[in-house]
Amino acid sequence: MSRKPTLAVVGATGAVGTVMLQILSQHADIWGEIRLVASPRSAGRKLAVRGEEIEVLALSEEVFDGVDVAMFDVPDEVSAQWAPVAAAKGVVVVDNSAAFRMDPDVPLVVPEVNPHAARVRPRGIVANPNCTTLSMIVAVGALHAEFGLRELIVSSYQAVSGAGRDGVDTLRRQLKLVAGSELGTSPGDVRRAVGDDTGPFPEPVALNVVPWAGSLKDDGWSSEEMKVRDESRKILGLPGLRVAATCVRVPVVTTHSLTVHARFEDEVTVDRAREILATAPGVVLFDDPAAGEFPTPADVVGTDPTWVGRVRRSLDDPTALELFVCGDNLRKGAALNTAQIAELVAGEFTTG
């Protein structure tokens, strides 16, 4: 007979943690006890999950006693400290931070693409990819399985919620400053109106796009761009995959978008690509430009799938496809994929 495993949600009071609780309430009830865990300053709060009010516990070694699976949505440094503590107690940790993604002993899992990888976890930890990678990889993975991927060139249009609540608050403040004005018609006028209130961004994001997301890495690349490259290679099992990414912040609250130029081993056809995308798990094909139908963040926000439109074969390369994809960066881009991995692991907890 099967038993329902015990789940801990670490970082339950954060933006992604809040979405995790919604998903737990919406998905099949496969969990037994659910423990909500956060920093000591949030301990004692009560949050609703599965129709019950559950008190938030302070993060400590003891909260993992008797836990089978723990979903972590906390800063990198907190995961780096506490995920091994939980794993040492026999907990399977599903971590949403960047702390373990490129660790060779930690699988990086997208259930629609490489679910088998979740079964081999020498450190007791499974990593969740970055939200930008997740916004495209389900669609790209489905095409790779058919055509054999050789190269990716992508540009991302990333929502401010990817920078956390501070990013969202910053955009909303800036929008109030520029509302009803004639700003955006002369050089620097938006920057002067906003002043130093750029929040986590190097430039104003209202009435603007900022060609930067993440921190500076070697040779002018950003950390977000390197994540797209490194994580795509690991998830798809293509260590030599050629990837070039440019990550851009746009004045959208939630949902990342990407343009994707994908080059394959063999010649591709749009009809076959559309068939693959229309039937791929976790993908919605929404592609009729003549009728004005293609995915946008305003339509995709709050939904689970990766939405794909503007499917075209490259004009100059019969082995390449051009796509536009959108994915909610707080759902599939973070909380949902984490929950899906945890659900895979939960199936292992059976008694004969």
DSSP per-residue codes, 269-305 = -HHHHHHHHHHSTTEEE--BGGGTB---HHHHTT--S
Instruction: Output b/e per residue, 213-227; b: 16+ Cβ within 10 A.
Output: bbeeeeeebbebbbb
**Model pLDDT for residues 194-248, shown as the tens digit of each residue:** 999 999 999 999 999 999 999 999 999 999 999 999 999 999 999 999 999 999 9
**Model pLDDT for residues 57-71, shown as the tens digit of each residue:** 999 999 999 999 999
**pLDDT-based confidence at residue 2 (cuts at 50, 70, 90):** low
Is beta strand 256-264 parallel, antiparallel or unpaired with respect to 149-158?
A: antiparallel
CA distance 106 to 121: 6
**Contact in structure between 186 and 178 (CB atoms under 8 Å):** no
Q: Tell me what the mean pLDDT of segment 121-143 comes to.
A: 97
pLDDT of residue 301: 97
pLDDT at 351 exceeding the cut of 80: no
What residues act catalytically? 131, 256
pLDDT at 42 exceeding the cut of 80: yes
pLDDT of residue 86: 98
pTM score of the predicted model: 0.94
| H helix and E strand count, the chain | 9, 13
**Model pLDDT for residues 177-199, shown as the tens digit of each residue:** 999 889 999 999 999 999 999 99
Query: Which residues does 343 contact at the CB level (< 8 Å), separation at least 6?
Result: 27, 30
